[in-house]
Amino acid sequence: MSDHPISQQLDEIESALDTGSYQRGQWQRLLRRLDHSGQATVVSLGNQITTVSNKLHRHNNGFPELPVSYGFSLELILFGASLACLTTSSDLVQLLGVGLLALCLQPGIKIITGLILGVRYSYVYLWYFEPRFKMAFGTYLLLTHKQKVILHAMGSVGTPIALFIGFLTLTAAPVLAYLCLAGSLGALGMQVAAFVAAARGVKKIGPFQLTTLTTPATLAYELKKAKQPATLMNP
């Protein structure tokens, strides 16, 4: 066992997960220590942090998962199919393209931004009906505060943009076009509402953490964290 105290704490959490004795708060206490330990510690323990983070995520959720390459492939297929549909002359097929674009654009933008910034991904999992990508948490922690803000900001714009593209595309069907515009404004309004709620300290909606439901809540969290240190999340 390593003589590094944070490594020992990671070992204890992993052992607790393996034996079923994990108690809420252990991970949060670890992250508070990591938050004040400096980047060198995160670099040296990055793989172990990611391993324990993944194990905790699986322990808490148990969602079906696939290798991350499958998720990347699915995103590319959906994006290609959406573009193919949007370039047809059929209003209904174009509307289908808008729907496909709304499914893939938001996660796609966030994933690409993350990869550019240095984030890597462990696996893709099905969050109820929505495929999501589990970050390799050790790589996420290496981002600067500014990079985290950029990542979550870019991960908040895809759905409104996709629906606005539908408004611009469906010019031959005004009713469908304005439905897309209404959807774009509605999605934007929901994003803003989630951001404001998180900024004001709302943590849950029903049984769900707000940061789990939507990326703008995490963006608000990261902006607040610059002014008042808080416990890190587990993306």
In terms of domains, do 33 and 82 share one? no
Whether residue 232 lies inside any domain: the answer is no
Q: Per residue of the chain (235 residues), what is the pLDDT tens digit?
A: 444 689 999 999 999 999 999 988 899 899 888 888 888 889 999 999 999 999 999 998 889 999 999 999 999 999 999 999 999 999 999 999 999 999 999 999 999 999 999 999 999 998 887 889 999 999 999 999 899 999 999 999 999 999 999 999 999 999 999 999 999 999 999 999 999 999 898 888 877 888 888 899 999 888 887 665 444 444 4
In terms of domains, do 103 and 14 share one? no
Whether residue 212 lies inside any domain: the answer is yes
Q: What is the DSSP letter of 208?
A: E
Whether the CB-CB separation of 69 and 133 falls below 8 Å is answered with: no
pLDDT at residue 2 in the model = 47
In terms of domains, do 73 and 177 share one? yes
Q: What is the DSSP letter of 155?
A: T
Note the residue count of the chain.
235
Amino acid at residue number 189: G
In terms of domains, do 35 and 81 share one? no
Distance CA(33)–CA(231), nearest Å, equals 10
pLDDT, one tens digit per residue, over 121-147 is 999 998 887 889 999 999 999 999 899
Print the domain residue range for 93.
Answer: 64-122+143-226
Distance CA(56)–CA(194), nearest Å, equals 26
**Count of domains observed in the chain:** 2
In terms of domains, do 147 and 186 share one? yes
pTM of the shown model: 0.85
In terms of domains, do 200 and 220 share one? yes
